[in-house]
A and B are shown apart, each in its own frame.
Chain A
Amino acid sequence: MAPLDTPMPRSQSMSMASVFERYGLLVFLVALMTVAALASPTFLRPANLVNVLTIAAPLGMVVVGQTFVILVRGLDLSVASLMATVAVLATAFKATTNEAIPMIFIAAIALSAVVGLVNGWLVAKRNVSPFLATLAMMIILQGIRFAYTGGAPISTLPPGMGFLASGRIFGVPVNLITLAFLAIAFGIVLHRSRFGREIFMVGSNPKAAFLNGVAPDRVVILCYVICSVCAGIGGLFLLGYVGTVSNWVGQGYELDSIVAAVMGGVALTGGRGNIFAALLGVAVLVVINNLVLLLGFPIEMQLIIKGVIIIGAAAFYRTRLA
């Protein structure tokens, strides 16, 4: 019992190195935004900034979840496939009125939770590597989804979904408010609760966690459930933003979410990371993408720059902490 009451895991997550990491990335983001502002006067226009943040929000939701999974030495490749599957599920209601929205959310979260449970069960109880378990889940969801839709896009959606995804309250995008709410809620869970401390313990040393009375399997499974639920919610917001459901909604989010988390200093080896730093990683990623567009470079350039930055950022954290 006692070890859980000591602040050990938290102090680890707030150590000098991790503080440096957080501010290091912040400095990088500010520098990037300065470059963007100098390079293109459009960048700092409120319309552009709001646009960037609106695009960032669904990815941010996925990253919140992905962080939990990476912290327990895992990763989730099925998030993007789940986002698209949730989007298809949302249109399956063929709802045209907003009364259906709560129902859609409940169904989406329920489906996501089941997916997360299966992922977590395979990883924790069956010892399947996270890479393979979630890869298999990604392919299975993709098959089921295509079999259901026959490959064709659908677009019957309650009008309120569009408002959730791209509407604004006092000029602030609704999806950004939702992301902030999610991030704060899960941030408290991760960085302030007993369960959060258990996550860090399991991530940094499963055996020690077990000897200290933590059930690693239970913690890991819950992390996968949290990840899938976040991805499912992200899928609904992305769907509302895109408007129609292609079967590939969210494609690329699995890799982008891992990239953002790693740039935000979440260690793939587990046990080290911070949700808000991971979200800074998202900001860096979307600002880079926006910058490439504003500078008039071909959109393919985003891929090249993203590739360089992901390797560079990972290397940066590696050497900083060595």
Chain B
Amino acid sequence: MSAITVDLRRNRLMLSYLIVAVLLVVLAVAGGLLSDRFLTWRNIGNLFQQLIVLGMVSLGQTFVVLMGGIDLAIGSLVGALTVFLANFLEWRPDLVWLALPLALVAATAVGALNGLLTVVLRVHPLIVTLGMSSIVFGATLMYRKEPGGSVPRAFADIAYAKVGGIPFSAIVLVVIFAFAGLWLQRTRTGRSIYFVGGDREAARLNGLPVDRIVVLAYALSGLCAGIAAIFLTARTGVGDPRIGAALTLQSVTPVVVGGTILAGGRGGVLGTFLGVLLVTMLNSLLNFVNVSSYYQWVIQGLIIIIAVGIHTTRRR
């Protein structure tokens, strides 16, 4: 009985992946036809270089959504961390080795705090992370209202570095995604994230440490936001409190496009990865054919609706 449901679930997920993969190929072909510069190595390299920020925040969101929550503090957190990194590195450029772990620890701590608050106060995650987002954003603005700071050359290089012609950031992204995927599928803790997202009460009755898993998922989301912020700061070279404003909601799009269900318990990181590729490639293509960013918004909205329409089956 349970074997059958698992099988069905897997098949449906496979179908989602397949649809997104086909769309990716269609986009690539369309891009190639519409512009002869789209399918050049140079552009593909650029495209992969851009993946890391959206990729990391979407991965973080995937953990939380799979666990049955939502994290709306991601954007503010990324903004705060870019401000921290750029200002810290302007003050002491030699302390990169200290700044990066500090940023990651702080990010993880904020994420874990989100999780703790939902667990201890039993407040809807939407409210908790929204509140946290407001607190983090306010605190960042009190420290610095305008973009500022700077980063040393060596640090900036991590955003643009290439290993054997492949962008370093893309390699990092793929490795992290592969690791995350294996962890979710193959380890007890990873699988329990699905269990908690599918049916929290059942997970509790089965003796899973539900509260700890919730906190873990949010902490991972924070950690991912930290990694995103590091690469973002390296690329832009400044700390901008508002830079994350759009990221929160953007992080949700690849997750749902990749077939992960917002209610939790179903989906996976491979889908999110394909979703990130699709969104990034689509935006790049639209830029190539000079579609204004205004219409890109419209298209992004339609994609969310269509993706959800494809992935959801009508239940009553």
Contact = CB atoms under 8 A, between A and B. Distances in A.
B and A form one assembly: yes
B163 interface: no
Contacts of A308: 131, 135
Interface size class, chain A: 35 or more
B140 to A, nearest CB: 8
Interface in A274-318: 298, 300-308, 310-311, 314-315, 318
A54 B305 CA distance: 37
B252 A128 contact: no
B298 A143 contact: yes
B18 to A, nearest CB: 21
A183 to B, nearest CB: 23
Given A132-B304, A308-B131, A140 B124 contact: no
B194 interface: no
A19 interface: no
Interface string B113-145: 000010001111011101111111111011001
A131 B117 CA distance: 21
Contacts of A315: 121-123
B127 A129 contact: no
Interface size class, chain B: 35 or more
Most buried by B among A133, A269, A303: A303
A6 interface: no
A143 B121 contact: no
Given A127-B312, A129-B262, A304-B138, A146 B131 contact: no
Nearest to A216: B316
B256 interface: yes
Q: Is the interface of A mostly helix, strand, loop or mixed?
A: helix
Contacts of A127: 312, 314-315
A129 B145 CA distance: 35
B70 interface: yes
A286 to B, nearest CB: 16
Given A126-B309, A139-B304, A300-B141, 17 more contacts: A126-B312, A132-B308, A133-B305, A135-B304, A143-B295, A151-B294, A268-B124, A303-B135, A306-B131, A306-B134, A310-B131, A311-B131, A314-B124, A314-B131, A315-B122, A315-B123, A319-B121
19 contacts: A126-B308, A139-B297, A140-B301, A143-B300, A151-B294, A255-B134, A258-B126, A269-B124, A301-B138, A304-B138, A304-B139, A304-B142, A307-B130, A307-B131, A307-B138, A310-B130, A314-B131, A318-B122, A319-B121
Interface of B: 70, 117, 121-124, 126-128, 130-139, 141-142, 145, 249, 252, 256, 262-263, 292-302, 304-305, 308-309, 312, 314-315
